[in-house]
Chains A and B, each alone.
Chain A
Amino acid sequence: MRSKVVTAGLILAAIILLLWTLFPFYWTIITSLKHRAEITLTPPTFYPHTFTFKNYIEGLFGAFPPMLAYFRNSFTECFGGAAIALLIGIPLAYAGARYNFKGKKDIFFTVLTFRFLPPACVVIPIFMFARVFGLIDTQFLMACLLAAMNLPIVAWVMMSYFREIPRELEESFMIDGYSEFQAFLKVTLPLSRPGLIAVTLLIVALSYAEFLFSSILTSSPAAKPLTVGISEYMGGEWGYYWGRIAAVTLVGFIPLLIIYLIVRKHLVRGLTFGVIR
């Protein structure tokens, strides 16, 4: 039995940790609800004395910067990138899990190195390439880059997932009278659903938070995502709009929260590499 002192200590530690984690979140919320004048008060107020939704309305629907367009870009680029990563990564993972072929190790190591490289190292060469092909400031370029960054995650997570699925199930399906591709579609993929959902969520979330590449490779409402867009409220001619930054950040967080709540069940099962039994 644990002593009461230890239990009390653990609870206290948990409370401190919780405050530590949640305080910035709380601060963002109250900032988004304060008038501009109150935000910069010294000493700061710990709850909004003035209460307003103006930050939300102006922050989201103001003519400039066009936040809704940035939202749209973020979604298109994240889901487009995820789709490309899954489209390439899943067959790659399946081949890695089921077949031995020459250069298999090299291919997988190369894919993994996409993730090793510090993004700052490659962003300038990519910029120069993209300019040659006229791809600067396009959603297509951003989707492709996000896909490249996330391909290793898809390939490695899904490979371990496919390995967990007994080969016999696919073989049995083939003996029943189907092709290997049909067996993959109708047996392997449905059985890997928890893994697929988890990995998709993970890469969408990572892409959604991407900043460096977007800040250099996008410049207009045609392709600029939310992360970069929000920063337009910082500095510039009109100074810092902390209230709007907080409001847009919170709204930007909602999609992630929804996805997370929907797939929470799968996330836990997926990331623990749940075995099918």
Chain B
Amino acid sequence: MGGLKLINISKKIGGKKVLDNVNLTIPEGVFTALLGPAGAGKTTLLRIIAGVESPDSGKIIIDNKDVTGLPPKYRNVAMVYQTFALYPHMKVFDNIANPLKAKGMKPDEIRRKVMDVAELLRIPHLLERYPRELSGGEMQRVALARAIVKEASVYLLDEPLTNLDYKLRERMREELRTMSRKMKFTIIYATSDPIDVLTMADQVAVILNGKILAQGPVQEVYERPCCVEVAAALSFPPINLIDAIVERRNGTLILKMPFAEIEGTRWADKLSTERKYLIGIRPHQIVLLKDRSAEYDVVLEAKLHLAHVIGSETICYISINGYNLRILLPYIYRMTREEEKVFIGFNYDNLLIFDGQTHARVV
């Protein structure tokens, strides 16, 4: 069993801890997203795996071989940079052929392999051009081609879609997903965009301030995030986070939020009146209602301020007693007045309750 294993990787740059005891296992053929905001340590981690940066401590194991001290050329990894890093003085063909030339392959074999990859990415017509003659999307494909042609053990993708426009990004997501499934690539895909993770990855590792906060199958991490930060990182639109305290009244447990109180007896064994909590609810799990329907566990009256229609979805900004929440509707909703009176509803099952101090999930 090959794949990649990182053991206790730490790295300081200029006195600042960029990576803090990172442990990560990526089985062969698995598409892993490394999710974190800018400056979380994603790029440094990829550079360490590639061998262009060395860790202060820890081990890197690729295909069951310890490669920690080895230079990049002995690691059989491929990397796609956010800026694509195409060699400006070489034609597209030579850019793609470069890793093969390094292996000392024969010219006709190189030509055959480059052509195969070019066909796969639909760029044979670009081979005789220079990078400066390409569009962003074309450069992206060339950069991918150069990685794919190498037949590497691990592919490192550093926010490769960031510099592309929206439409192209959508299409590349689909293609990357299909290709990685078909070819069984072992991929680490660094990104700050939860959509990338939810649409493409098999598993996700959430990184923040150089620490891996959570790691596991995407659906699992999404549904049962270990802490506020993971829930927030893996949510689009951003998750609603609401301060809350717990009160006990006549034997029933009350979860007190700034705008409402809900009954919380069902969580009695997990919540304490001593502590503060953060309640997380994802925008798509709140529904907009016409009246006080009884279908939902909690129904509240609210004011609708703004409805952004995004294609076939709508992001609504509502307030309840001055407290703002975001809702994502899976349909088009247009406001009729400047401020509308609406009802919202959600279910207890959809609430994520985090400890206010430690940020760990309790429910």
With a CB–CB cut-off of 8 A, which chain B residues contact A174?
A: 51-52, 71-73
Residue A235 at the B interface, CB < 8 A?
no
Q: Which partner residue on chain A sits nearest B77 by CB separation?
A: A175
Q: Which of A177, A178, A190, A277 has its CB near the most chain B CB atoms (within 10 A)?
A: A177
Q: Kindly provide the distance from the CB of A57 to the nearest chain B CB, expressed in whole angstroms.
A: 47
With a CB–CB cut-off of 8 A, which chain B residues contact A168?
A: 81, 83, 85
Q: Which chain A residues (135-168) contact chain B, with CB distance < 8 Å?
A: 166, 168
Would you call B89 and A176 a contact (CB within 8 A)? no
With a CB–CB cut-off of 8 A, which chain A residues contact B87?
A: 169, 172-173, 187
Q: Which partner residue on chain A sits nearest B103 by CB separation?
A: A177
Would you call A178 and B85 a contact (CB within 8 A)? no
CA distance A177 to B79 in the complex (A): 12
Would you call A172 and B89 a contact (CB within 8 A)? no
CA distance A175 to B49 in the complex (A): 11
Would you call B50 and A176 a contact (CB within 8 A)? no
Would you call A178 and B73 a contact (CB within 8 A)? yes
Q: Which of A166, A173, A176, A178 has its CB near the most chain B CB atoms (within 10 A)?
A: A176
Would you call B85 and A172 a contact (CB within 8 A)? yes
Residue B69 at the A interface, CB < 8 A?
no
Would you call A171 and B47 a contact (CB within 8 A)? yes
Q: Which partner residue on chain B sits nearest A167 by CB separation?
A: B52
With a CB–CB cut-off of 8 A, which chain A residues contact B79?
A: 171-172, 175
Residue A41 at the B interface, CB < 8 A?
no
With a CB–CB cut-off of 8 A, which chain A residues contact B50?
A: 171, 175
**A176-B98, A177-B102 are contacts. A171–B150 as well, Cβ < 8 Å?**
no
Interface size class of A (residues with CB under 8 A): 10 to 19
Would you call B102 and A178 a contact (CB within 8 A)? yes
Residue A52 at the B interface, CB < 8 A?
no
With a CB–CB cut-off of 8 A, which chain B residues contact A172?
A: 79, 81, 85, 87
Q: Which chain B residues (123-159) contact chain A, with CB distance < 8 Å?
A: 132, 146, 150
Q: Which partner residue on chain B sits nearest A193 by CB separation?
A: B89
Per a CB cutoff under 8 Å, which of A179, A187, A276, A277 touches B73? Answer: A179
Would you call A276 and B88 a contact (CB within 8 A)? yes
Would you call A171 and B52 a contact (CB within 8 A)? yes
Q: Kindly provide the distance from the CB of B88 to the nearest chain A CB, expressed in whole angstroms.
A: 6
Residue B78 at the A interface, CB < 8 A?
yes
- Mask, A65-82, CB within 8 Å of B = 1, is 000000000000000000
Residue A191 at the B interface, CB < 8 A?
yes
Q: Give 5 pairs: A residue, B residue, CB < 8 Å, sorted on A.
A: A175-B77, A176-B98, A177-B102, A177-B150, A191-B88
Residues of B near any A CB (own CB < 8 A): 47, 50-52, 71-73, 75, 77-79, 81, 83, 85, 87-89, 98-99, 102-103, 132, 146, 150
| Given A178-B73, A191-B88, 8 extra CB contacts under 8 A | A171-B47, A171-B79, A172-B87, A173-B98, A175-B51, A176-B98, A177-B99, A191-B89
